[in-house]
Amino acid sequence: MLLLVIAMLDDRFAIHVTFDAARGGYIATHRQLAAPVIALSLAVLRARVGRQLDIAAVNVRLKLDRAARDQRDARRRGGAERASDTSGQNAAG
């Protein structure tokens, strides 16, 4: 049990994430990444970071800043456009 708690507190694979629509979506940074990783969704971002760091995507812990959390929450509510929406209208529109 103690090892599980220690593993959860380990920040080696804590990836800092922000959202910038002008740059193309979610942006992940980490000291071991050669360049920031950009993706349209958090799932794709997690997978790309995992591949670049050579770790399983389930072990990648995303630390979202306010912009990333707001975007994630808006998408969950259906208020933000998604990359897969080709109709020109989002779920709220």
Selecting from 3.30.2390, 3.30.1120, 3.10.20, 1.10.760, what CATH number does the domain 9-77 have? 3.30.2390
- What is the per-residue pLDDT across 56-79, written as a single tens digit (0 to 9) for each? 877 889 999 999 999 999 999 886
Q: Which is nearest to 15 in space by CA: 71, 39, 74, 81?
A: 39
Running DSSP on this structure, what letter comes out for residue 40?
Answer: S
- What is the per-residue pLDDT across 15-36, written as a single tens digit (0 to 9) for each? 999 999 999 899 999 999 999 9
pTM beyond 0.75: the answer is no
